[in-house]
Amino acid sequence: MTTNLPAAGALDIVIFGGAGDLSFRKLLPALYMAHLHKRLAADARIIAIGRQSWTRDEYLAFIDSHSPAFIETSAFSASDWQNFLARLIYISMDVTQGGDYAKLKTLCCQPAVRVFYLATAPSLFTQICAKLSGAGLVDAQARVVLEKPLGTDLASARAINTEVARYFDEQQIYRIDHYLGKETVQNLMVLRFGNAIFEPLWRAPHIKSVQITVAETVGVGKRAGFYDGAGALRDMVQNHLLQLLCIVAMEPPISLDADDVRDEKLKVLRSLQKMDLAAIKRDTVRGQYSAGASEGAAVKGYLEEDNVPADSRTETFVALRARINNARWANVPFFLRTGKRLQQRQSEIIIEFADQPFSIFGTEAKHQPNRLIIRLQPEESIQLEMMVKEPGSGMTLHPVKLGLDLQSSSDKRRAEAYERLLMDVIKGRLTHFMRRDELEAAWLWIEPILAGWQALDDKPRNYSAGSWGPAASSALMAREDLSWFEEA
């Protein structure tokens, strides 16, 4: 390990929360990959800021023992890793003390692009921005990256946005939602707007329903301190699932410029029908996992997890039916579902097309609507389910999948979401980040649901770890003669 400080160059990436989970699991491995593939300028530095009173060597030793586990083995090379570590600087500081920013100022003395990545508790965002500005570190070249959760409701999100806007222009603010950095999510735009065959069919009445599922097998782990106050609606639906819904539902933007794309996403969020109490009761399902089995091992229930209050009513599962009030999507139900400790790790979007209006194959024929299955993870694929004839005499129909295996369709490396988004920040590309009005529109739709659950004194329904969630989630679909993809 080297103890020489790297000299200042054209880019400084300053990570607040530099020793936190997000840094060593995601950000530093992503920056290592960018370094390995020569996507980081040779003189770019990474300045990690943390509370621990470590020396630089102690910080490097910490990263050296924690981050490699989160780097693909085939991409890890000891010499490249050492060269990467040589870019790192550590500053121990109390981010609430204005005086401590002088240390940072001394280091970032010459004009460079400065990226301030706030991987801290959101309660610190506004003070950090104010103090950076007070120390003269915010100039026209500076960018700030804000990690989620951005607020816990509309008022707190607005307060953060208003404060941050005092020091950074909107064009300098990167509100990150790592789902927007996933390859398949970006591919969805190409699928929709780069293939002429879909556009005429991408609407009511040709589409009968849309399902968006983000299912996880992990439990709350060590994050109960944050998660118990948030729950699945705030943690996943307000951001990741609504962003996926926007990309599925938006009108073609006039260009790929950030504001053109974000204008269209905003319109979708504004078209979401607000739910009143009756709709909340009818169209939402909250669940909480109890003990069960996950991937072959016995696991605890949510209430037995570390730091979860014994009477917690926090939801670890949500399913809901959303309505989009515009001409393209009139009467097309959008079903969103996410949960922890579900049967499989699976994120997918299912577009179910309308039924055949008339079947010449008789009423006995098992006619199934065509479905487009867009799988985000664990593997990335796009499949179109078509009806074909079963070989042999007679005209028996059966579904077959026409598939695009995205992994093997190109030899090109597929960067992880964080690497891709960090490179966008460095290049000043805002398309895959949320604009202020988008974030606030998402809260405006979510907030009445949170309030409605409270007003209805809604207790989460129990589901066993390793299942697909509470039975009421299947019933939500069955009511409209539909079913979740894996239950069909």
Residue 283 binds to ligand BG6 (criterion: CB under 6 A): no
Residue 348 binds to ligand BG6 (criterion: CB under 6 A): no
| Closer residue to ligand BG6 in complex, CB, 16/227 | 227
Contact 165, 436 (CB under 8 A): yes
User: If you search the block for the tokens 């949500």, which residue do you land on?
Assistant: 318
| Closer residue to ligand BG6 in complex, CB, 183/264 | 183
Instruction: Show contacts with ligand BG6 in window 176-215 (CB under 6 A).
Output: 178
Contact 253, 263 (CB under 8 A): yes
Active site residues: 240
Q: Kindly state the smallest distance separating residue 117's Cβ from ligand BG6, in Å.
A: 16
| Closer residue to ligand BG6 in complex, CB, 253/339 | 339
Q: Kindly state the smallest distance separating residue 230's Cβ from ligand BG6, in Å.
A: 8
Q: Kindly state the smallest distance separating residue 182's Cβ from ligand BG6, in Å.
A: 7
Residue 315 binds to ligand BG6 (criterion: CB under 6 A): no
What is the size of the binding site for ligand BG6 (CB under 6 A)? 3
Which residue in the shown chain puts its C-beta closest to ligand BG6? 235
Is the bond preceding 378 in cis, omega lying within 30 degrees of 0? yes
| Closer residue to ligand BG6 in complex, CB, 340/371 | 340
Residue 385 binds to ligand BG6 (criterion: CB under 6 A): no
Q: Kindly state the smallest distance separating residue 209's Cβ from ligand BG6, in Å.
A: 23
Q: Kindly state the smallest distance separating residue 4's Cβ from ligand BG6, in Å.
A: 36
Exactly one of 56, 114, 115, 235 binds ligand BG6 (CB under 6 A); that residue is 235
Residue 216 binds to ligand BG6 (criterion: CB under 6 A): yes
| Closer residue to ligand BG6 in complex, CB, 45/178 | 178
Q: Which residues are near ligand BG6 by CB under 6 A?
A: 178, 216, 235
